[in-house]
Structure 1
């Protein structure tokens, strides 16, 4: 995906009304230090919509906030869909704005995956369909708030996901083996160090706390894989499919030897430059 398209799908908190700090519910856990009901502002949300502990989220017990990615939905809803009207100054917009935000996030996440699919040479036979799906999804993000509330975003997801699965299968053809079918698998805490996971289907797999040191994840499909606490030191994700920045941010460790897909950033807490 071209860098300008990637930047378009990255969060710009300075243009958002703190929606990720209000809309989701938090449950006290390893990821969140407190319970917070949905649609109630986090106590750390400042009046200017910034976070008062943004530079120390992890030590304060908010690792979940540190890895959250809205794919730019926050600024789009705040500045485009609602034209800069914030929920504090225009409280009559709050309920609808809070309803639209998760819908927009799903659409923007789809745009990320579609953009990545269009970079796959092996999926060239599907590029026309993928481009049409991306255009349609872009059009949906431009709908008015009333129309977004009525949108069956799940049906759209299912339709586009079927296309993404086909693209993944083409990219992994010749590498995917019966032993590497891990879709939705519970791999929590599993010792996968040095594992040959080339072309593995890891869609929705639970890789929480997994040891993936020196694992070969080239062309592995990682859509929705939960990498919280995973050890990615020395792992090769250089051509892994559909990796999101939040998956890297959620991993416990990585290092200079961890190979990343183009356009993704090395988390600042990993050794080495954040590029």
Structure 2
């Protein structure tokens, strides 16, 4: 049996078994980062993971300023086996060095961005099979100490978004399923100045809008880094590929977490 716990697990319980209860969301980066990554050099993280900046068959870290949980482990690598465009992409697989439920994080370089900067970020995803891991994609502002948006591709095949619909921050089921074993594009239009200053976050898949944030902005008011997170529940042979990340106009995003758990589950 699996138990969904849609919460940000703090480092203190990062390696423990999941518990069947709702946890309070903490959107600060301190709740997600055990300090194993430290500060990151600034750099443009818009990328399609192509040569010569990235070498296929090698771990993601330290290529072109990217970092990953565990340092240089093959769970996060650059592959030439399945690209959305071009020849290469970023692949996540199971990390056998840690247990299921232990968050595995990939971090782009961070770009310092002024507060209250609108942003549009898009990226392409390929999930090989359902029933295994959750895969999260995060836009955050390390200079503010907050994440700004978070998309969860649930192991059952649905898209969840971090939002507050009136009962506190939680992962909200969009009611939209994502394609399996085919490439699809996700986009987030982020405007912290819209809606009388409350902000708007609008989500699209393959160019089709499917969800708008009820609470407006979640915490951060710019996008400086793009982050991938999975909970290491992959089944045998399962993988998730990422390609063609495009931030615009200047706020750029991915996550800086050492021991994050998202959507902890127990088999």
After TM superposition, the score normalised by the length of structure 1 is 0.24
Q: Which has the higher helix share?
A: 1
Between Structure 1 and Structure 2, the one with more strand by share is 2
Q: Which has the larger radius of gyration?
A: 1
Larger RCO: 1 or 2 (CA < 8 Å, sep 6+): 2
Q: What TM-score do the two structures reach when normalised by structure 2?
A: 0.25
